[in-house]
Amino acid sequence: MGAWQKLGLLFSPDNQAEWFVTHAALPTAEAIDDDILRVYFSGRDEVGRAQIGYFDCELEPEPRVLRVSNAPIICFGEKGLFDDRGVVTSCLIDYESEKYLYYTGWMLGVTVPFYFYIGLAIAPQGTIDFVKHAPVPIMDRNSIDPYLLGSPFILVENDIWRMWYVSAQRWEQHGDGLRHYYLIKYAWSEDGLIWHRDGHICIDFSSDAEYALARPHVIKEDGYYHMWYAYRGDAYRIGYAVSEDGLNWERRDSEVGIDVSESGWDSEMIEYPYIFDHQGKRYMLYNGNGYGKTGIGLAVWRE
């Protein structure tokens, strides 16, 4: 059985640009040539509003960051819109002559702390000129998802767009505050814009102690679907599941091959995995302590 070998902290937010002062969360990777990887991430401004930018890096011979975007490529929305408190990265799809960057838009609540919904920004191939598809979510609350939904991951198979996403089931009083309970569901589309859902749950809670299943990432390989995700009881860990059809999943968290370190930037929690292949190797980007406050780490799969 293989395991992920940690290569260390790839990127730590440290005043590299004016548009973010803390956090580098929810990394999403794109190869821009044979040697250079572009990593989109969400950084927060001085009042905690998230925006999406990127850094470019090399992985060989040693991982190193080459440049950081001097401005965000997707900004939070105007006051009153579904993303006025922040936009965070989710999934990037190459589709014909365009790139679809799905994101999660955040807004603050009154009776509950926050809401989030699924948005989309589109750019021509070969550019970073992303424009929001609409001022409203492409997936909003409905009778299937009455609380909040976000963090989509999408595969396009035989002209069907398949999405795994996070959906809240309820809020509960916990101590002096409210606790969200969300898990991973499934949706499908014929064009990536209009989505259908019936409430099918892909990854459910494994115990009463769990209350958050976050940021799914799915790969189809050798006839099986493989999903990595974050799950949370006391603190986030990275989980793993397998499916024959993408709908019915078997959790195999004990086989994930990565855990918190004994000390340092990812010693308290690890979360928000993103898996990609580059130059014949399989890598994982992930966050550690503080939901991205300490930055983005890199690991490589070793058999």
pLDDT of the residue at 251: 98
Are 69 and 42 in contact, with CB atoms under 8 Å apart? no
Closest CA to 41 of 60, 15, 68: 68
Other C-beta atoms closer than 10 Å to the C-beta of 271 total 25
For residue 224, give both structure tokens. Answer: 């099986």
The owner of tokens 């809020």 is: 171
For residue 169, give both structure tokens. Answer: 């089931």
Distance CA 164, CA 213 (A): 12
pLDDT of the residue at 63: 95
Compute mean pLDDT per 10 residues along the chain, 303 residues long, and list them.
Answer: 95 94 97 94 97 97 96 98 98 97 98 98 97 98 98 97 98 95 98 98 97 98 97 97 98 98 98 96 98 98 95
pLDDT of the residue at 34: 87
Query: Of how many residues is the chain composed?
Result: 303
Domain ranges of the chain: 3-302
pLDDT of the residue at 96: 94
Closest CA to 98 of 76, 66, 74, 131: 131
Are 87 and 76 in contact, with CB atoms under 8 Å apart? yes
pLDDT of the residue at 65: 97
Are 297 and 283 in contact, with CB atoms under 8 Å apart? no
Distance CA 104, CA 126 (A): 23
Q: What is the CATH number of domain 3-302?
A: 2.115.10.20
Pure H helices in the chain: none
Closest CA to 91 of 43, 133, 152: 152
Distance CA 111, CA 289 (A): 28
- Which H or E element spans position 119? strand 114-124
Other C-beta atoms closer than 10 Å to the C-beta of 247 total 13
Bridge partners for 40 per DSSP: 28, 54
